[in-house]
Amino acid sequence: MRELLEVIESPDSTARDAAALPVPASYRAAVLHKSETGMFEGVAPADRDPGAAIHIQDVPTPEPGPGEVLVAVMASAVNYNTVWSALFSPVPTFAFLERYARTGGLAARHDQPYHVIGSDLAGMVLRTGPGVRRWQAGDRVVAHCLSVELEGADGHNDAMLDPEQRIWGFETNYGGLAELALVKATQLMPKPEHLTWEEAAAPGLVNSTAYRQLVSRNGAGMKQGDNVLIWGAAGGLGSYATQLALAGGATPVCVVSSPQKAALSRALGAELVIDRSAEDYRFWSDEHTQDPREWRRFGSRIRELTGGEDVDIVFEHPGRETFGASVYVTRRGGTVVTCASTSGYLHQYDNRYLWMSLKKIIGSHFANYREAWEANRLVTRGRIHPTLSRSYPLTEVDRAVRSMHRNEHHGKVGVLCLAPEEGLGVRNPELRARHEKSINLFRTFEGAGVGGHAAVAGAVG
């Protein structure tokens, strides 16, 4: 792997140097074991530790098939799907791998007793399979996580509608939390060259998801002047949704759960922020009953911040806990756009507020290649910045996953795979210098400790 690193890091190395590199027979990866899918049976959900399911071990290197690419992974990132995978919840991901394998051909390779997880990467193309023309060994890339077959007609207006649509590293094997990864050539995009490897790996999944959900016409189709309520605004999805709203001339109303996260949202440029913990919203009075008075209190607070207006769009993902409130506070004719259900997927809402006020609920899931490309282009141009707060070495993916499961993290959590340290991989220092403070915002904030947060926010904002 040392030779590999030298080629990746040398400014003089050529495609030929990269193509001449030997492909190791095996590589180190963060994996789950099929034999352990029952490990949390009988353990209360709150006591389940996703870190306990993650193993770092060598796995055999897969050969890239037609249209596939083997990437040397410099850095990756933890996503919430890593948490779901390691909790074996709501279903063990091995069920996805078995189903994929049953489609036949090369897909059969994905059904293994181990699952290499991870749905983000930044790295260098090591080998291309037959028929790959656009990418070659030595290309510096990031990968989005949409894996499609596109053999049927359904996916040809919008690849997310392909019946064989899968999330790479979650519903397929050979994911990004590893030294090597197997992707389809149609997952690759150019690495933003003003960013380090770990910064470049951070936005991928969440930025693309937020872009489709909020900006794309396949999602809410946000326009200038819209008020956008953003749940979890200092988390993974929310930190990009906040930036996309601001960059698109909308007004984000950011909901967070601590003064630190409120300061981070302000430092990103948001002016309207609600600390849901400090204001103690209790949308459910018991397990089965919601409290409409709390929806009204929340709606009044939003109007207080916006100068009397309701929100045009609600950017939803907490799910059961917040969905009733989200439908209630959306303006007449407005849109709730949802991509997840972190707190539970059986939602309840009062349908009278939906139909009488002509509101819409839109389901959104990841992004098609074009949307992921547009989202990556915004990063490449320095319009949207990574929100990386901390990076862990590959050997400590368990710690990284735990911090996300406990909601202790800010923005994105990175993982160094082949990269021996942070800070490597920048090839456009001029663009970086123009955005250095914004690129470092979440990391600086993390390092500043409680007392320093206001100062950091002031310095950047």
**Is residue 366 within the footprint of ligand NAP (CB under 6 A)?**
yes
Stretch near ligand NAP under the rule CB under 6 A, chosen from 337-345, 354-362, 423-431, 439-447? 337-345
Q: For ligand NAP, which is the closer residue by CB, 64 or 175?
A: 175
C-alpha closest to that of 413 among 74, 76, 121? 76
State yes or no: residue 401 binds ligand NAP (CB under 6 A).
no
Q: Which stretch binds ligand NAP (CB under 6 A): 25-33, 79-87, 187-195, 325-333?
A: 79-87
27 or 283: CB nearest ligand NAP: 283
User: Which of 82, 218, 227, 342 is the binder for ligand NAP (CB under 6 A)?
Assistant: 342
Q: How far apart are CA 296 and CA 307, in angstroms?
A: 16
- Shortest gap between Cβ of 363 and ligand NAP (angstroms)? 9
321 counts as binding ligand NAP under rule CB under 6 A: yes
Please tell me whether residue 390 binds ligand NAP under the rule CB under 6 A: no
CB of 146 to ligand NAP, least distance (A): 9
Tell me the angle at which helices 397-405 and 80-87 cross, rounded to the nearest 10 degrees.
100
For the sheet containing 272-275, what is the strand order? 272-275, 251-256, 227-230, 311-316, 330-338, 360-363
Pick 76 or 79: Cβ nearer ligand NAP: 79
CA distance 121 to 102: 27
- Interacting residue with ligand NAP among 317, 347, 443, 453 (CB under 6 A): 317
Interactions with ligand NAP, residue window 221-260 (CB under 6 A): 231-232, 234-238, 255-257
Please state the closest distance from residue 274 (CB atom) to ligand NAP, in A. 9
Q: Is residue 266 within 8 Å of 256, Cβ to Cβ?
A: no
CA distance 347 to 260: 29
Which amino acid makes up residue 326? S
Q: Which is nearer to ligand NAP, 8 or 205 (CB)?
A: 205
Q: Which stretch binds ligand NAP (CB under 6 A): 31-39, 90-98, 216-224, 340-348?
A: 340-348
Of 251 and 322, nearer to ligand NAP (C-beta) is 322
Give the Cβ contact number of residue 6 at 10 Å.
12
> Is residue 93 within the footprint of ligand NAP (CB under 6 A)?
no
Q: Which of 82, 173, 186, 209 is the binder for ligand NAP (CB under 6 A)?
A: 209
Q: How far is the CB of 10 from ligand NAP (least distance, A)?
A: 34
In the sheet where 55-60 sits, what is the strand order? 55-60, 26-33, 114-116
Q: Give the separation between CA 8 and CA 14, rounded to whole angstroms.
A: 10
Q: Going by DSSP bridges, is the β-strand pair 166-167/146-147 parallel, antiparallel, or unpaired?
A: antiparallel
Place of tokens 């180190």: 28
Q: Among residues 276 and 359, whose Cβ is nearest to ligand NAP? A: 276
- One-letter amino acid at 301 equals R
176 binds ligand NAP (CB under 6 A): no
Q: How many residues bind ligand NAP (CB under 6 A)?
A: 31
Return the residue of 116, 180, 206, 416 that touches ligand NAP, per CB under 6 A. Answer: 206
- Residue of 80, 88, 174, 369 that binds ligand NAP (CB under 6 A): 80
Give dist(CA 184, CA 70) in Å, integer: 9
- CA 168/CA 217 separation, integer angstroms: 24
Q: Is 104 exposed, middle or buried (0-12, 13-18, 19+ CB in 10 A)?
A: exposed
- For the residues of 3-16, what is the DSSP string, one character each? HHHHHHH-TT--HH
Q: Which of 28, 62, 69, 81 binds ligand NAP (CB under 6 A)?
A: 81
Instruction: Give the separation between CA 73 and CA 308, rounded to whole angstroms.
Output: 49
Asked if residue 314 binds ligand NAP (CB under 6 A), the reply is: no
Smallest Cα–Cα separation from 32: which of 60, 56, 61? 56
- 138 vs 232, beta carbon nearer ligand NAP: 232
Q: Which is nearer to ligand NAP, 77 or 180 (CB)?
A: 77
Shortest spacing between CB 66 and ligand NAP, in angstroms: 27
Positions of E strands within 132-256: 140-143, 146-147, 166-167, 180-184, 188-190, 227-230, 251-256
- Contact footprint for ligand NAP (CB under 6 A): 79-81, 84, 205-206, 209, 231-232, 234-238, 255-257, 261, 276, 317-318, 321-322, 339-340, 342-343, 365-366, 404, 407
